[in-house]
Amino acid sequence: MDRIRLTGGVKLRGRVQISGAKNAALPAMAASLLTSQPVFLDNVPYVRDILTMKTLLTEMGVEAEVRPDGTSMLRAATLSSFEAPYELVKTMRASILVLGPLVGRFGRARASLPGGCAIGSRPVNMHIEGLEQMGAKCEIRHGYVEASAPRLKGARILFDTVTVTGTENLMMAASLAEGETLLDNAACEPEIVDLADLLRDMGARIEGDGTRTIRIHGVAELDGCAHRVIPDRIEAGTYAVAAAITRGAVQIENCCPAHMAAILTQLERVGVEVEAEADCVRIRGRDPIRSRDITTNPYPGFPTDMQAQYLALMTQGDGVAAITETIFENRFMHALEMIRMGADITIEGSSALVRGGSLLTGAHVLASDLRASASLVLAGLVAQGETIVDRVYHLDRGYCRIEEKLVGLGARIERIR
């Protein structure tokens, strides 16, 4: 199993190119199931989760090409299977994104239920209830949800809590349903808007994406299209924290600062210099890093996917910061590893109290999920001596060539196989 070895103490400097957003590319790939025509995607990050989605689609009979240069072609002319098997779903929960498109176009789907994961229980009840409200018959059997419907019918669906992939699944299903669907309390993440843009290019009739109410007028069929995936705001945010925590100066290119408002505002509050242009942001870390509280929230709030990285930054703060996680119930595993590196953190329910000013020392640490691994790399960048981050496969799920990009900024980091 691969590990990352890094030696802290270098101020990062230079320029880094941001890849396409994993969490926008995954639903875009699933959306190819909605048409028999080819869907061409650009700016698809060449990361493990994308390759897992490719395997899933290929096993269903989709012709799929995913290239390291970010271009992809997906053609779901006919399918040989309508199933997302346990073996794939257990490695990537986002496999559930095929459920909506399959029921929408083919009237049938069988998908393994994802079960719990390292960051929380993460049920998919709202995906299933939404399809039922649209007329699908859904049964849970042998760990799978089996859904069938002659043709879905538009419905008014109110989400109890904001769900990103739930909104995406139902948006895709509703695109081919009969009549109008209203999604209320919908997610408004930039990834939702990107999916809506893609679906509109395929001929779907969608309004209100980016707000809490999305209206979808179903059409009889959808066409192929070409679409460029938005930049990854979480990858960009991670490099912004890398610059801040090392008191370096980094130009983050090919990103979308408008999607990062909550992240950039918070960095400014803690004393980081932020200079944003249309598709680039310059970050200059400064002393002192001020300790400031944060609470994670659905977009446009501060993203849960940046909580671990921000926590790493707060270990270097000048006071005490309370970090409250409201999306997932168990997303502080990284804090326990940072404590082993010398951080002063107390977990109280859904909050972590981080006392800044810790001198971190390198240690052998274990990553529990994607963003936790990124935060341990960030902690390692300021730690004294050598840090080894184990279970790098988590990092590889969502960060494209991370050690190469960090080396480009001067970090002393390598992968050990």
CA atoms within 13 A on the CB side of 112: 16
- Closer CB to ligand EPU, residue 26 or residue 102? 26
265 contacts ligand EPU (rule: CB under 6 A)? no
- What phi and psi, each to the nearest 5 degrees, are found at residue 379? -60, -40
Q: What is residue 236's three-state secondary structure?
A: helix
Q: Nearest CA to 299 among 322, 327, 271?
A: 327
Answer yes or no: 117 catalytic: yes
CB atoms within 10 A of CB 139: 11
CB of 21 to ligand EPU, least distance (A): 9
- Closer CB to ligand EPU, residue 164 or residue 225? 164
Binds ligand EPU (CB under 6 A): choice among 144, 310, 328, 332: 328
Contact characters 98-137, ligand EPU, x per CB under 6 A = ----------------------xxxxxxxx----------
- Closer CB to ligand EPU, residue 190 or residue 285? 190
371 contacts ligand EPU (rule: CB under 6 A)? yes
Return d(Cα 270, Cα 272) in angstroms, integer: 6
Q: How many residues lie near ligand EPU (CB under 6 A)? A: 24
Q: By CB under 6 A, what part of segment 75-94 binds ligand EPU?
A: 93-94
CB of 166 to ligand EPU, least distance (A): 5
CB of 97 to ligand EPU, least distance (A): 7
CB of 330 to ligand EPU, least distance (A): 10
CB atoms within 10 A of CB 159: 18
- The verdict on whether omega for the bond into residue 38 sits within 30 degrees of 0, i.e. cis, is no
Locus of tokens 């995406």: 168
Per DSSP bridges, beta strands 386-390 and 83-84 are unpaired
CB of 296 to ligand EPU, least distance (A): 8
Return d(Cα 263, Cα 105) in angstroms, integer: 38
- What phi and psi, each to the nearest 5 degrees, are found at residue 55? -60, -45
For residue 296, give the DSSP letter: B
Q: What is residue 305's three-state secondary structure?
A: helix
Stretch that binds ligand EPU, among 161-169, 220-228, 246-254, 357-365 (CB under 6 A): 161-169
Q: By CB under 6 A, what part of segment 20-79 binds ligand EPU?
A: 23, 26
Per DSSP bridges, beta strands 205-207 and 213-217 are antiparallel
Binds ligand EPU (CB under 6 A): choice among 238, 266, 304, 315: 304
The residue ranges that bind ligand EPU (CB under 6 A) are 23, 26, 93-94, 120-127, 161, 163-166, 304-305, 327-328, 370-371, 398
Catalytic site positions: 117
